[in-house]
Copies of this chain bind each other. A is one copy, B any other.
Amino acid sequence: MGAIQAALDAQELTDHHCHGVVTADLPREDFEALLTEGGVWPGISPFDSPVGVSVRRHCAPLLDLPRHAPIDDYLARRAELGWREVNRRFLAAGSTDVFCVDTGYTPDRLTTPAELADTVGGSAYEVVRLESVAEAVAAKGVEPAEYAAVFRAAAREAVGRPGVVAVKSVAAYRTGFDLDPARPSADEVTEAARRWLAAGGRLADPVLVRHLLWTAVDLGLPLQLHVGFGDNDIRLHRCDPAHLTDWLHLTAGTIPVLLLHCWPYQRQAAYLAAVFEQVYLDVGLTLHHVGPARAGAVLAEAMEITPYRKLLYSSDAYGLAEFYCLGALAFRRGLTGLLQDRVDADELSLPDALRIARWAGADNARRVYRLPGPS
């Protein structure tokens, strides 16, 4: 085992963007539904996919099964052990000691940040999803003319809770990034709020999405942005992060912006990270979906021009404990392979490689979010 692998294996990761894990035993259809960003379709098992193959390869042994165990064996053993033991084993295998948890999506069925971190004795921080804050404001009832102030107050209150280190937006899902970059006027916001509050539904008005992004700027915390790969609610071409360029110019010197997932726009994200001081990126979610077999290739593209202080680790794990393990595994394997190849080719010194591994694995996140520990 090389020094880089040893270092990355020994290093506890900081997962700067994840969700909770389900606190229930999962029937097969529920497990399969969580395994895929698609659906569960007749005649096509979600296990017959790169991520499904990775689960059978890498997760089965952690349940005392042979590598590549059959699906039925896997699910039977999972049920036998029960969700508490399963979650404990996979989270422990991820060797992650800091979790920044997005609590804005279906929190009811998931662990809280503290519960998640407690499973492995780690530290938990919270990421506030601003669309959820806005939608709670609407649900509670608000006058259109008051919307901006009430939303801002609610967001300020939410980020004032202990342990909150960042906010997040899923603007990518709601409108995409091909938005007017300018801060909307108060009148525009009131008018848009009037339309939205009358029509109901989730926040997807372009004016209100812009207003939300500018509210993030006012809050002053780092902003996580979903970019690229997700379920079929995305219009992929509309969340090419290059569309953010004008907004990044307007907001330069304010808040850090963290581009999440990014695939298949990892090169576009890398470009932004290379030319805007405030931009950072990860390839979370992507890594466990493509699996260890392709994680190195995706990371290599993401790192083609990205400054080494700009790449972060996240699992973006949601629901299945397997993903905390697979995300970490794919990241460690992918980055180890990439760095070791460069050291072997004498393109990179070993001390530099170890530094890059430490930075990406934990220190860059600590620096951006001002977490305790070395940054």
A residues bordering B, Cβ < 8 Å?
36-39, 41, 43-44, 46, 48-51, 53-54, 56-57, 67-68, 229, 231-232, 234-237, 240, 242-243, 245-246, 248-249, 263-264, 267-268, 271-272, 274-277, 289-294, 297-298, 300, 303-310, 341-342, 345-349, 352, 367
Chain B contacts for A292, CB-based, 8 A: 345, 347
Q: Is the CB of B236 within 8 A of A245?
A: yes
Residue of B nearest to A230 (CB): B275
* A276 CB contact (under 8 Å) in B38, B51, B367: B38
- Whether A293 pairs with B342 at a CB distance below 8 angstroms is yes
For residue A234, give the distance in angstroms from its CB to the closest CB of chain B.
8
Chain B residue at minimum C-beta to C-beta distance from A356:
B48
- Contact residues in B for A298 (Cβ distance below 8 Å): 304
Docked CA distance A32–B196 (Å) = 49
Nearest 5 A/B pairs, CB to CB: A264-B267, A68-B349, A232-B275, A236-B242, A237-B242
Closest to A298 in B: B304
In the complex, what residues of B have CB within 8 A of residue A308's CB? 48-49
Which B residues are CB-close (under 8 A) to A276?
Answer: 38, 232
Contact call B246/A242, Cβ cutoff below 8 A: no
- A31–chain B nearest beta-carbon distance, Å: 16
Closest CB-CB distance, A229 to chain B, in whole Å? Answer: 6
Contacts of A290 in B (CB 8 A): 304-305
Do residues A307 and B48 form an inter-chain contact, with CB atoms below 8 A? yes
What is the bound-complex CA distance between A274 and B48, given in angstroms?
11
Residues on B with C-beta less than 8 A from A346 are 57, 67
- Chain B minimum-CB-distance residue to A177: B237
Contacts of A349 in B (CB 8 A): 56-57, 67-68
Question: Is the beta-carbon distance between A246 and B235 smaller than 8 angstroms?
Answer: yes
Q: How far apart sit A352 and B53, CA to CA, in the bound complex (Å)?
A: 8
Q: Which of B245, B294, B310 contacts A300 (CB 8 A)?
A: B294
- Which residue of B38, B263, B306, B310 contacts A275 across the interface (Cβ within 8 Å)? B38
Closest to A39 in B: B277
Please, which residues of chain B bring their CB within 8 A of the CB of A294?
300, 304
How far in angstroms is the closest Cβ of chain B from A308? Answer: 4
